[in-house]
Amino acid sequence: MPELRKDPVIGRWVIIATERAKRPTDFKIKRDPPHGGFCPFCPGNEEKTPPEVLAYRENGTGANGPGWSLRVVPNKFPALMIEGGLQREGEGIYDKMNGVGAHEVIIENPDHAKTLADLTDAQVESVVWAYRDRIVDLRKDARFRYALIFKNHGEAAGASLEHSHSQLIALPIVPRYVSEEIFGAREYFNFKERCIFCDIVRQERGDRRRVVYENDDFITVSPYAPKFPFETWILPKAHQSSFEDGQVREYQNLAKALRITLRKLNAALDRPPYNFIVHTSPLNEKNLPYYHWHVEIMPTLTKVAGFEWGSGFYINPTPPEESADHLHRMEV
């Protein structure tokens, strides 16, 4: 069972993921990972993953066989385990609990060679529907307080398998960064009686210098204070706190915005590795007036080093007005 341990000073929880345990000697070879020809996410290899929890498939095809266009499976090497209770306990001055949670993989399409940016609008739309369907299902489990959806693309961004996929981790606590973001947004709301993200959307739409792309429901911007060069956010224009409570038309336009934004990043930066994260409200906290879900995309272009680890400050050599201008011009 993985263990959650709490740093006794700053209170950050860490997952000691024993199911993925690495012996010290594993790190010596880690720097040049092997790439075999076998892919557990390709059609025909369905038995190499745990049984699917969701699939979009052709009529008449059976679970855990070919015929799917999208497939969601539990992670074979999960950071957290789905069974058990939290069992909080102390260890002298330290605190720990069981690593309970869900860790799922969204295999975005059957074609090994296609990245998310290479898919059609309709295919990207089915990916965002899968995110929604899984959240709607997982929020029925009362142990879970947050569902984090993210994607690591490319080895430098932490992807260990090449076949395009996203991940979902459902957690028994609201993670630190999410709490901080919600806390900040609530403080602003208490002071102004307005959603800060709505204010950001309004100011960016007026200013235009940091706008990358816009459609009826979504706007893509370079944020005012980006941690990294070419960090890019996609925000719904209308106020909405939960990703999973959108309208059909909104998921269509989100898919369009996501696909175009990724293609612009590909064109500007020669298909960079990247991470993206869906920032949304905690499970079962509905219709918050002060929070506004959105997607943050971070290409992996610079290295996080001692200064950032020591300070929580980020040094970004590229002003967002420059990256937005560059991305805006890219024809995709």
User: 57 to 116, contacts with a second copy by CB under 8 A?
Assistant: 79, 91-94
One DSSP character per residue, 189-243 reads HHHHSS-HHHHHHHHHHHH-TTEEEE-SSEEEE--SS-SSTT-EEEEESS--S-G
**Among positions 34, 113, 190, 311, the unique one binding a second copy when judged by CB under 8 A:** 311
17 binds a second copy (CB under 8 A): yes
Active site residue 165: yes
**Among positions 9, 113, 142, 248, the unique one binding a second copy when judged by CB under 8 A:** 9
Judged by CB under 8 A, the chain residues 146 through 165 that form the site for a second copy are 148, 150-152, 156-159
**Tokens read off for 68:** 């799917």
In the complex, minimum distance from the CB of residue 239 to a second copy, in angstroms, rounded to a whole number: 15
Judged by CB under 8 A, the chain residues 232 through 261 that form the site for a second copy are none
313 binds a second copy (CB under 8 A): yes
CB nearer to a second copy: pick between 5 and 114:
5
In the complex, minimum distance from the CB of residue 249 to a second copy, in angstroms, rounded to a whole number: 26
CB nearer to a second copy: pick between 34 and 317:
317
- When computed from its CA atoms, the radius of gyration of the chain, rounded to whole angstroms, is 20
Give the x/- contact pattern for a second copy in 191-230, rule: CB under 8 A. Answer: -----xx-xx--x---x---------------xxxxx-xx
- CB–CB of 72/103 below 8 Å? no
User: Which of 103, 163, 165, 294 is an active site residue?
Assistant: 165
5 binds a second copy (CB under 8 A): yes
In the complex, minimum distance from the CB of residue 62 to a second copy, in angstroms, rounded to a whole number: 32
Specify the pairing of strand 232-236 against strand 146-153: unpaired
DSSP state of 53: S
DSSP state of 113: T
140 binds a second copy (CB under 8 A): no
Closest of 325, 324, 297, 291 to residue 146, by C-alpha: 291
DSSP state of 100: B
- CB–CB of 80/14 below 8 Å? no
d(Cα 287, Cα 274) in Å, to the nearest integer? Answer: 30
Catalytic residue numbers?
165
